[in-house]
Structure 1
Amino acid sequence: MEKKLTKNEKISRAMKGRTLSDEHKLKLSKAKKGIKRSNETKAKIKQTLLGDKIKDLKKDHPEIPKTNMSRTHLTAADVKQIRDRYSNEEALSIRQLAKEYNVSRHTIHSVVTYKLWR
C-alpha cells in the first residue's frame, strides 16, 4: 500500500526538474524581502543547505597557532570562535558571522570548511 502524499509533497514531485525563469526568481525575491525568520526556521535552512556536511563539522576546534601573515583580518582566536559558534549555534549563519567580524562571506565559509587556517 502506497503512502498518501501531502499537498506539499505532490507539488514538490510535480515541480522536480523544472527551472524558474529570471523574471519569476525576481518576483520571488521581492516577495520575500524583509521577512524575518525564526531561529527554528534558520536552523532548518542551515541543515538543508549543509546536508550531510553538517556531520563533518567538528564540535570542538583547537586553537590554531599564530602565523606571520601580515594581511590577515582574523586572529587565531577569532577563527576558533567562528568555527565553534558556527557548528554549535543552530540559527547562526555565515552572513551574520561575516557582518560581525567585518569580513566577506567567502572568508567565513573558507574558515568554517577549513580551506583557510587549516
Structure 2
Amino acid sequence: MAQRSSGRGNDCQRQQQALRRAKEQQARNGECIIQAKRYSKLVGVESVQALASVVEHKRAAKGMLITTSCFGRASHDFACQHGRLQFIGGPELKYLIKGHLRAVP
C-alpha cells in the first residue's frame, strides 16, 4: 500500500490511476522491469527516470521500483505522468514480507 503524503494529496489513488492507465495501454510485450534499491534516504526522481528509460528501451509493459526507503514527491509525479511505473516503498515492502512469512507453513 502506498503511503499517503501529509498535505500532498492521496499518492495511493494517483498510483492506482496510473496503473489502470498502464493496463489500458497495449505494450508490445508483457515484460516487467523490476529494480530494487536499498536506500536510507528518499529515492530521487533520477532513479525513477532511469527505470522509465529502461522500460521504454525494452518496450516493457511496466516497471517496478522497490526500495527499503520511500519515494519523493517528484518521483511520484514522474511515475504518474509516465503511467507504467509502480512503486513499493519500505512500509509496503515490510507489510508484504510479513504477510508472506505468515502464509508460509
Q: Which of the five TM-score ranges fits, normalised by the shorter chain?
A: under 0.3
TM-score normalised by L of structure 1: 0.23
Which structure carries more strand by proportion?
A: 2
TM-score normalised by L of structure 2: 0.25
Structure with the larger RCO, 1 or 2 (CA within 8 Å, 6+ apart): 2
Which structure carries more helix by proportion?
A: 1
